[in-house]
């Protein structure tokens, strides 16, 4: 029993030292992983910034004037089309009693083109 007791007294500091080394190794691994991730994120930010500068320079040099011109023209066309549409709707609403009979006549004429009239059937 005495030798087992002596062996436990010898192994206890060794296991304590191994546990401390394991904890320190885990902390070192965790800190290294965090630093590696931050370094990768910093590199990614640098690459995105460089790409943004390149694209922005190209756009400003070759595309900005045309894009500005095209944007102004598209906005102008949308505003004019909206105004003309509104004026057309107002005119149709005001003159709906004169327009409706003509539209009904057109609808009936177009509908009669798609109706089959049998040669056997005689209209009375």
pLDDT confidence bin for 44, thresholds 50/70/90: very high
pLDDT digits (tens, 9 = 90+) for 57-99: 999 999 999 999 999 999 999 999 999 999 999 999 999 999 9
pLDDT surpassing 90 at residue 12: no
pLDDT score at 72: 97
pLDDT surpassing 80 at residue 124: no
- CA quadruple 86, 87, 92, 95: dihedral sign: positive
pLDDT score at 74: 98
**Could you tell me the CA-to-CA distances from 50 to 46, 47, 53, 64, 85 in Å, in that order?**
6, 5, 5, 20, 47
């Amino acid at each position: 029993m005495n030798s087992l007791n002596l062996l436990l007294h010898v192994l206890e500091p060794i296991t304590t030292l191994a546990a401390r080394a394991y904890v320190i190794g885990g902390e070192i691994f965790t800190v290294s992983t965090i630093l590696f991730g931050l370094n990768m994120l910093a590199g990614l930010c640098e690459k995105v910034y460089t790409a943004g500068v390149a694209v922005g320079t190209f756009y400003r040099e070759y595309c900005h004037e045309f894009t500005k011109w095209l944007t102004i023209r598209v906005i102008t066309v949308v505003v004019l089309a909206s105004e003309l549409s509104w004026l057309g709707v107002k005119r149709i609403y005001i003159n709906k009693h004169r327009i409706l009979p003509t539209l009904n006549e057109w609808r009936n004429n177009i509908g009669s083109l798609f109706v089959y009239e049998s040669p056997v059937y005689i209209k009375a």
